[in-house]
Structure 1
Amino acid sequence: MAEAEYNVTGMSCGHCEASVRGEVSKLAGVEDVRVSAASGTLKIVSAGELADEAVIAAVDEAGYTAVRAR
């Protein structure tokens, strides 16, 4: 199991969170996605390591910008 955290810019509401959650959830191996517009964070639990590029592309597809936090 792997965990990753990203900082996401541009989110301001629950709809924003749902959009990001929906796109990231489509990635293979994702088990849990937690998104907070208030703190601008995205936390992912996955079966294995996810490529940062894939996560960033999924967030971009939702209309926002992500950067790996740790």
Structure 2
Amino acid sequence: LHSQLLPQEVIAESGFDPEILQNLKSRGHNVTCGSFGGSVIQGIEWRDEVNEYWANCDIRKGGVPDGLS
């Protein structure tokens, strides 16, 4: 879900919860649905149980960790 000030619109990925989108529309938001094409998330996670850092990638674009230095 992406929201911005100008132009005032909310862009939702296909498959986003329709109840949430309808709620946004009922509150006056201009909602558009489309395929994913926005930014992705990369993250680093500390796992106490193995005393290691793990790399994580956004699975929506098929991302996988490539390495950790």
Flag the structure with larger Rg.
2
**Fold shared per TM-score above 0.5:** no
Higher helix share: 1
What TM-score results when the alignment is normalised by the length of structure 2? 0.29
| Bigger relative contact order, structure 1 or 2 (CA pairs below 8 A, ≥6 apart) | 1
